[in-house]
Amino acid sequence: MPDITYREALRQALRYQLEHDERVFLMGEDIGAYGGSYAVTKGFLEEFGERRVKDTPISESVVVGAGIGAAMAGLKPMVELMTINFSLLAIDQIVNNASKLHYMSNGQIRVPLVMRMAGGAGSQLGAQHSHSLESWYAHVPGLKVVVPATPYDAKGLLMTAFEEENPVVFIEHTALYASKGEVPEDVYRLPFGAAEVFRAGTDVTLIGYSGSVHQAFRAAQQLEEEGIDAEVLNLRTLRPLDVEGIVASVRKTSRAIVIEDDWKFGGFGGEIVALIQEHAFDYLDAPVLRCSGSDVPMPYSMALEQAALPQEAGIVELALNLCEGVTP
């Protein structure tokens, strides 16, 4: 299998859709002539033309809303919002229209819309460009929320997103576009709601998604040196969530830590903790912990930004304490 970047994996999925489904078109800010803010759609305008690859005004709400409308009329649009920060300008469309139309119309309307956006922090982009707001979207029934961690995830999950008859919020990680991994050249699709056991282990389950999967994995490698065998789960999708997969892992290890860039208070990690205690309380040997971002607007300075985000050393420390029966 060739080693390709997360970016290239996304490109392969998009190109496949454009080549194989006439209903598919792409639109977003600077996806055409500029080539995409993260270069995911570079060259597509020249390759597929203006009908299929549309540069839009900087008008997030009408861009997403037009995507919803086009989906209502039987097309399969992909809207790129550049970053999750800008999706806040379209949140009315995503929450009030995309997520609800199938239900409100009693099943008459379908919204097969893929909304791609980049999230996450750690690149010194400052407070307004460093958000992990996936929990906001995962909160909403009617939406599906996808958070790929690897190039393999990126291609397989994006292929599945285009099979969906529902609106999909597809959140890429700004710091992962250049990361590399093995990706089959052929078409494949990864199911939503099925977590991956990224690293098998027996002592503690480290639960991550998107960028935090890699942190969890590196922490697991350090823990191995300390004689602790950590299991790392890659959730891949937050809604649907693989509750069974999480519970199965925790029943095996009896300990769990959720790792997320998100703010701790009201974040997605809290939902996972709640589900674990509902479904696996009797299997737990220790409280379920969260290693989250601090509740602070993201500062610019590297020194402060790193202090605000979960770090491997912190995960290792929490895991060691947890396995030794010491809790905060």
Partner 1 sequence: MMRQGKSGTLTQRHDGTGLSDEQVIGLLHKMMEIRRFEEKAAEMYARGKIHGFLHLYIGQEGVATGAISALRPDDYIVSHYREHGHALARGLDPKRIMAELFGKETGVTGGRGGSMHLFDVSKSFMGGYAIVAGHMPLACGLALAEQYKGTERIAANFLGDGAVNEGEFHEALNLASVWKLPVLFVVENNFYGMGTAVQRVSATVEVYKRAAAYGIHSEQVDGMDVLATHEAVARLAQRVRSGDGPAFLEAICYRFRGHSMADPEFYRKKEEIERWRALDPIEQMKRRLLADGLISGDDVARMQAEVDRTATEAAEFAEQSAFPSRESLMRDVYADGARGEEAPHA
Q: Which residues bind partner 1 (CB under 8 A)?
A: 25, 51, 54, 56-57, 59, 61-75, 77, 92-93, 96-97, 101-112, 141-142, 144, 164-166, 240
User: Which residue shows structure tokens 């770090």?
Assistant: 311
Q: With respect to partner 1, which residue has the nearer C-beta, 54 or 255?
A: 54
Contact 81, 35 (CB under 8 A): no
Question: Choosing from 8, 29, 102, 129, which is the catalytic residue?
Answer: 129
Q: Rounded to an integer, what distance in angstroms lies between the CA atom of residue 173 and that of residue 286? A: 31
Q: With respect to partner 1, which residue has the nearer C-beta, 152 or 192?
A: 192
From the CB of 54, what's the least distance to partner 1, in Å?
Answer: 8
From the CB of 230, what's the least distance to partner 1, in Å?
Answer: 29
Phi, psi of 97 (to 5 degrees): -110, -65
From the CB of 49, what's the least distance to partner 1, in Å?
Answer: 12
Q: Rounded to an integer, what distance in angstroms lies between the CA atom of residue 10 and that of residue 219? A: 27
* Helix, strand and coil percent figures for the chain, each rounded to 5: 40, 20, 40
Phi-psi region of 153 (alpha: psi -120 to 50; beta: other; left: phi over 0): alpha
Question: Choosing from 8, 29, 60, 134, which is the catalytic residue?
Answer: 60
State the DSSP code for 236.
Answer: S
Instruction: Look up 80 and say whether it is catalytic.
Output: no
Q: Rounded to an integer, what distance in angstroms lies between the CA atom of residue 196 and that of residue 120? A: 20
Q: With respect to partner 1, which residue has the nearer C-beta, 275 or 284?
A: 275
Packing angle, helices 243-253 and 268-280, rounded to 10: 60
Instruction: Look up 129 and say whether it is catalytic.
Output: yes
Q: With respect to partner 1, which residue has the nearer C-beta, 39 or 62?
A: 62
Contact 220, 230 (CB under 8 A): yes
Q: With respect to partner 1, which residue has the nearer C-beta, 66 or 127?
A: 66
From the CB of 257, what's the least distance to partner 1, in Å?
Answer: 24
From the CB of 24, what's the least distance to partner 1, in Å?
Answer: 11
Q: Rounded to an integer, what distance in angstroms lies between the CA atom of residue 318 and that of residue 236? A: 23
**Residues with catalytic function:** 60, 129
